[in-house]
Chain A
Amino acid sequence: MSGISRRKFLKSTVVAGGSAAAAMSSTKKAFAMKEFEGYPESMGVLVDLTRCIGCRTCEAACNKEHGLPEPALPFDDFSVFDQVFHEGKQKRRTTEKAYTVVNRYETKDQGAPVYRKLQCFHCSEPACLTSCFVNAYTKTKEGAVIYNADVCVGCRMCMVACPFSMPAYTYDSALHPQIIKCNFCYDSRLKNGKPPACVEACPQDALTFGHRKTLVKTAHERIKANPKKYVDHVYGETEVGGTSWMYLSSVPFDQVDFNTTLQHHPILDNTKSFLGIVPMVLGIWPAMFLGFHLLAKGGKGEKKDKESKNRVEVQGE
């Protein structure tokens, strides 16, 4: 565990103020200048939508692996595929209680439904990481994008920066609100050379684990061997500079809710100019934090207890 607590950090930042921000942004710039092609040994997962049958076993495996709260409905209840939000415009999304969700799509190009599993893409150059001014995010050499709750100040820049809206936020935890998202099972599996829990559980081999480099080749080989079956694109190979989790599909990607308008270079480049406003963020941040704190404190006493218990365990590591 990192020795620096949120409170200490708060103090030191407020004192150090703009100078710290300036220093940080120059580090980021230096990082951005050099050509970064991703870690050579980075692992990844190829999600082949043509194989997925929407059994939700991956969701159950994730819930078990991370000891997540009880779901509203059993994992073999397929009525969740009918759930929509925002006046029917949005299907289920990942939350602080579900790091991965599977959705069903009726598409115009295919009679049978297509299922899509969604989770953090573990970008090669993650926008969440570059947008975070306290460096709470790390891209590990194994390819995982992980998050350190101990230094997070809850500003939620990463939630805005992520092109896939992956980071979720524990709004109902007043004491220790934190960002939550899929971590590629980094601590429990990936760093020991094991595939994530969802991959291991999938009965259809819809999820293939391996070196990202190799998976890119595998993906193209599958398309080449079966050009009628697949759309000729590997989603995530180049989107936002490449992601560790990539997708193959039988229908155009926009028909299964993928953003097909994303740039093919890292969001990092944009973030550079964005970092110019960081000192301003630091200036308004104490007030903002107090606001969030008061807001969050509004309710959910019961959940609060549970959350803080979790926190104690984490800190005791």
Chain B
Amino acid sequence: MKSRKRWALKGTIVALCFLVAPAFGAGGEPPDSVRIDSLSHLYNGVDFDHELHVGVEEDCSVCHHHVFGNGVADKQCARCHSNSKGTTSVACRDCHVEDPFTVEYLTKMETDPNRYHVDITGLKGAYHLRCFTCHIEMEAPSECASCHERTDAGDRFYRSGKYAPTGGGTGGSHE
């Protein structure tokens, strides 16, 4: 029992470090690289080169919206957030949850009368919608594998590579 408690405590501390770490971004130096792997299953995680992207897009608000408290480019957001103060945390995951379709989350979105933003993309959606849209616009690499390598589970899922169909199937065509 005791050791379990200690583990739980350790776990919490470790978890807190991860949660708090990005918060320093708000007041301090931006990170050079961010590991994005919370959802890796079909694909390996991504080592996001933050420094490179800061060089490409100088306006932080394109990705970080209003959270730095220094204005926001999007006119829609500016209607309310032009004078918003910086937030304590700037990490994507602090607003975009990993699983946006749980009963609890949907209920929270629907029942909180003080909540304005009720149509928030999930974490996976937020990453891809932001990254992919920009990569297409800037003609940067936009294949799935240009950013993250597919895992064996991924190959199996897509019936690709060594799991490719051996013939005989007709799925996906039509009568």
Residues of A within 8 A of B (CB): 51, 53, 55-57, 59-61, 63-64, 68-77, 80, 83, 85, 90, 92-95, 97-98, 101, 112, 168, 171, 193-195, 199-200, 202-205, 208-211, 214, 218, 221-222, 225-226
Contacts and interface: CB of A to CB of B under 8 A. Distances in A.
A71 B110 contact: no
Query: For B102, B119, B144, which residue has the most chain A Cβ atoms within 10 angstroms?
Result: B119
Nearest to A55: B144
Given A72-B169, A205-B124, A211 B159 contact: no
- What 6 A-B pairs have minimum CB-CB distances, sorted nearest first? A205-B125, A97-B171, A71-B171, A93-B174, A74-B160, A70-B169
A74 B158 contact: yes
B146 interface: no
A304 to B, nearest CB: 15
Nearest to A214: B110
A72 B160 contact: no
B122 A205 contact: yes
Nearest to B159: A74
Contact of A199 (B101, B103, B109, B128): B101
Interface in B122-166: 122, 124-126, 128-129, 132, 136, 144, 157-160, 163-166
Given A74-B163, A95-B170, A98-B171, 14 more contacts: A57-B158, A64-B157, A70-B168, A71-B165, A71-B171, A71-B172, A72-B170, A72-B171, A75-B160, A76-B144, A92-B173, A203-B128, A209-B101, A226-B76
Given A70-B171, A92-B172, A222 B165 contact: no
Given A74-B159, A74-B160, A199-B101, A97 B174 contact: no
Contacts of B165: 70-74
B106 interface: yes
5 contacts: A69-B169, A77-B160, A95-B170, A204-B125, A205-B124
Given A74-B159, A74-B160, A195 B171 contact: no
A60 B110 contact: no
Given A71-B172, A98-B172, A222-B119, A204 B157 contact: no
A204 B129 contact: yes
Contacts of B76: 225-226
Contacts of B126: 205
Given A51-B129, A203-B124, A73 B172 contact: yes
Nearest to B76: A225
A97 B126 CA distance: 32
Given A53-B132, A221-B119, A210 B101 contact: yes
A77 B128 CA distance: 20
A261 to B, nearest CB: 22
B159 A72 contact: no
Contact of A60 (B132, B136, B157): B157
B121 interface: yes
Interface in B79-136: 100-103, 106, 109-110, 118-119, 121-122, 124-126, 128-129, 132, 136
A74 B172 contact: no
B160 A76 contact: yes
B171 A218 contact: no
A303 B168 CA distance: 11
A122 B76 CA distance: 34
Nearest to A56: B158
